[in-house]
Amino acid sequence: MLFRKTIRDFRQNVLSFFAVFLMSFICLFVFTGIYYLSQQMEQTGKTFIANSQLADYLLTIHHLDKKKETKTAALPNVKEIAVRNVGRFKNDEISLTLLSFDQSEISQPQVIQGDKLQQTGIWLDEDFFRENNYQLEDEIIINHTPCKILGTIRQPEFIYFTENADQPLPDHKKNGYAYLSEETFTDSGIYATPQLLINTKKSTNQAWLEKQLSTIWESDFQQLTPQKDIAGIAVFTDRSDQIKRLAILFSGLFLILTLITMEATMRRFVKQQQLQIGSLLAQGLSKSALLFHYSLFGLLVSFAGSFIGCLLGPRILSPILLSVIGKQFSVPSWESIVSPLGYWVVGAVTLCSVLTTLIPVIPIINELPATIMQKQSNKRFRRVWLEHSIIWKYLPFSLQWTLRDIQRNIRRGILGIFGAMGCMILLLAAFGINDSIDYSLQHVFYQTYQYNEKVSFTQPMTEKKQAETEKLFSHNSQWLEQQSVTLLNGSEEQLVTATIASPGNLLNLKTKSESLSLQSLEENEVIVSSALASKNHIQKNDSIYVRIGQTILPLQVKDLAYLSAPQGLFLSKKGWEELDQNFLPQSLLLERLDQIKDSAVFSNSVSKKQQYQDSHQLIEGVRFIISLLILAALALGITIMMNCHLLIFSERFIEFATLKVLGFTKSEVLRLSLLETMLLTSIGWLFSIPSGWLFLQAYVSMVSTENQQYLPQLSAQSLLLASLILFSCMLVVQIFLNRKINQIDFATALKPAE
């Protein structure tokens, strides 16, 4: 009997249960589609690194020394080492990072085409090879030395490869990397920087290792870089984590709203079936059987929606996202993964839905059948507090009726308010993250930096070379040096970027309310970016310790800079030199374009406009996900509001019938319904603005990376657009409610319970 009733109830309430099905589907479709992509990226990176046997640490040194190499290999936590040389070849058309290889297996690239790395020749980056239409056995000239192309390779260090940090987007046509045999590397005459590739035991402490290596290599020690901090790997990992956080945060909110919608749907459904529940209990049906019967609605609907979403998300959404995001990274192939996480989430969603389904059922079945079969409560309401106020008598009847009804049914009113809030918060978050990204890029390129061109050089610039270069132009400029230093925070260490600037006004730092002057910094004073300070619990006027080379220095935090990028420490040239450090800038900020390309040490230049455009292209994958979330927010918003107001209607249809009998016209009844819908939506809209802003701040914080801190921003246009969408959803819901009101049989609606 209950089985047939279940099927009949599904048919009669197909629209309501389809809404829950849709929300469960969207929740799991979005979550598994986005999260699966992050897992796919993570697994691909791990496999790529493992297959290449990438070194745990890179030690950059000034000169090789066999005795010091032997001492390094003898350290207790060091498993094996290898040596390679790194150089740069550049002409008017291309720029190649060159690396030598030996017979060691550490950090060996994966050969995509051609021969293995065992002979004299050159192996080109696969992307660079394709973009320039090279063929195997072609020759490429490196410093007047012809090198035969014997194959193509990919290497995880260059999974995301740009020529330098000033180039946000990979340009495989102009920039690439290549591996050469030691013999070919030597013959090419390229200036080489030696590196030690070090594999260590898992228990190795980075601080201990760095101390030991700096002691061994003394003045030859330059920098120790752990695997996770290699530029390409760091960008790849940040993007994977960013996508994962996008999936978790939004889908978590989707799930909460899905459960609320399920509860509203079941409450309305149980209200409609109150007479049937009482009759079944009166006929001797057990409470457990009824609980099982009504739990089936949550079980079947939510399980079907979430399971289908879990199946389709990785198969449909993930490939679409990968086609947008994956093209920025260079991997041999994208791994296919099988993860049980989605199915665990399906189980959790289904269980929560079943429990939510029983919330409105349990209080009813615990009453006597005679009480349950009373369609209307005998409860009498007293005058609400607002009726005692002076303004009450000046309010129109329609508003009095609406306010009285809301105050007498607080739970119902809260549900309507929450439906509007949920819709608006989702829209504000989706539009707000888009605004935050735009604002952050604007902040970097038009507030923090005031240059029009940034020039990089082939070598650090001494004071003499700086003076020679400055003779080539007569306009405003500013020299920049960027060094990796170690921030010591208790027992933890973090590699951060220290930016040292010469006097000038092309790099502007600000707090939230005032400008900061780098040139006013005294000895041992430093400005810290606010995101780095927040992460390490650093306050203004605190003392911090940094390690520069082998020296640990105390620094006083003069202030915190509110900026999106770059993150790190900021010092003046004067303050840097007072720390007994040489000011050797690698780049120059220029007020005008195309001024010093004739310099003998010129490497490359990039305009701020091009950097800005490339930065927008870089995040197009994130924007695609945001667009998807906006569509999901729109669908969920309409569904939430529809269910909330259908519940309100189910509890008020007798009142609407009563008004008709009392002589109210149909249009007057519809206006009363519209007024309540507008009032609840407006209150929800009002509350959603501060709560939506708080959610946006948390959201922006979660999707930011160590190198790029997005600044929360919500434009007036986005707020207006989200509001228009919300009230448009309200009108759609109201049109549907009007149809329901018009379909009320006023005679049977007032018929008392038998």
Model confidence pLDDT, tens digit, residues 265-279: 777 777 777 778 788
d(CA 467, CA 460) in angstroms, rounded, equals 13
Instruction: Enumerate helices (H) and strands (E) in the chain, giving the number of each.
Output: 23, 21
**Is pLDDT larger for residue 745 or for residue 615?**
615
What is the DSSP track for 80-124? EEEEEEEEEEE-SS-EEEEEEE-S--TTPPEEEEE--S-SSSEEE
Q: 162-171, 184-193, 551-560 — which is least confidently predicted?
A: 162-171
Position 750 scores a pLDDT of 61
d(CA 607, CA 587) in angstroms, rounded, equals 13
For domain 459-599, give the CATH number.
2.40.40.20
d(CA 574, CA 124) in angstroms, rounded, equals 43
Over range 443-471, report the average pLDDT: 85
pLDDT at 309 over 80: yes
**3-class state of residue 539 by DSSP:** coil
d(CA 593, CA 608) in angstroms, rounded, equals 10
Please enumerate, as own/partner, the contacts of 288-292 that have beta carbons within 8 Å and a separation of 24 or more: 289/2, 290/361, 290/365, 291/358, 291/361, 291/362, 291/365, 292/2
The b/e string for 77-92 (b: 16+ C-beta within 10 A; e otherwise) is: ebeebbbbbbbbbbee
Position 59 scores a pLDDT of 92
Count Cα neighbours of 164 within 13 Å in the Cβ-side half-sphere. 16
CA geometry: angle 111, 112, 115, nearest 5 deg: 55
What is the DSSP track for 441-489? HHHIIIIIB--SEEEEESSPPPHHHHHHHHTT--S-EEEEEEEEEEEEE
Position 754 scores a pLDDT of 41
d(CA 44, CA 247) in angstroms, rounded, equals 19
Q: Which amino acid is at 61?
A: I
Confidence of residue 176 (pLDDT cuts 50, 70, 90): very high
Q: 175-189, 315-329, 633-647 — which is least confidently predicted?
A: 633-647
pLDDT at 675 over 80: yes
Position 254 scores a pLDDT of 76
Over range 226-241, report the average pLDDT: 88
pLDDT at 647 over 70: no
Q: 102-116, 417-431, 641-655, 697-711 — which is least confidently predicted?
A: 641-655
d(CA 560, CA 527) in angstroms, rounded, equals 6
Q: 168-172, 304-308, 662-666, 675-679 — which is least confidently predicted?
A: 662-666
pLDDT in tens, 359-399: 888 888 887 777 767 654 445 555 566 666 777 777 787 77
Percent of the chain clearing pLDDT 70 (strictly above):
95
pLDDT at 502 over 80: yes
Q: 37-41, 105-109, 656-660, 746-750 — which is least confidently predicted?
A: 746-750
E strands, 184-290, are 193-200, 221-226
pTM for this predicted structure = 0.79
Round to the nearest angstrom and report the end-to-end CA distance of the chain. 22
**Is pLDDT larger for residue 401 or for residue 30?**
30
Position 142 scores a pLDDT of 85
Provide the token pair at 605.
Answer: 């230049």
Per-domain residue ranges for the chain?
Answer: 1-54+231-375, 55-230, 391-450+609-753, 459-599
Q: 110-114, 142-146, 163-167, 455-459 — which is least confidently predicted?
A: 163-167
Position 374 scores a pLDDT of 67
Indicate left, alpha or beta for 123 from its phi (over 0: left) and psi (-120 to 50: alpha).
beta
Over range 707-711, report the average pLDDT: 82
pLDDT at 594 over 70: no
pLDDT in tens, 113-159: 988 887 788 899 999 999 999 999 888 888 888 888 999 999 999 99
Distances (CA, A) of 369 to 3, 364, 372, 610, 735: 22, 9, 5, 75, 37
> What residues are paired with 370 via a beta bridge?
none
pLDDT in tens, 286-301: 888 888 888 888 888 8
Does the CA dihedral 54-57-62-66 come out positive or negative?
Answer: negative
Are 213 and 549 a contacting pair, CB within 8 Å?
A: no
Q: Which amino acid is at 422?
A: G
Residues 6+ apart with CB under 8 A from 568: 496, 497, 498, 499, 528, 529, 532
* Bond into 566 cis (ω within 30): yes
d(CA 425, CA 437) in angstroms, rounded, equals 18
Position 45 scores a pLDDT of 92
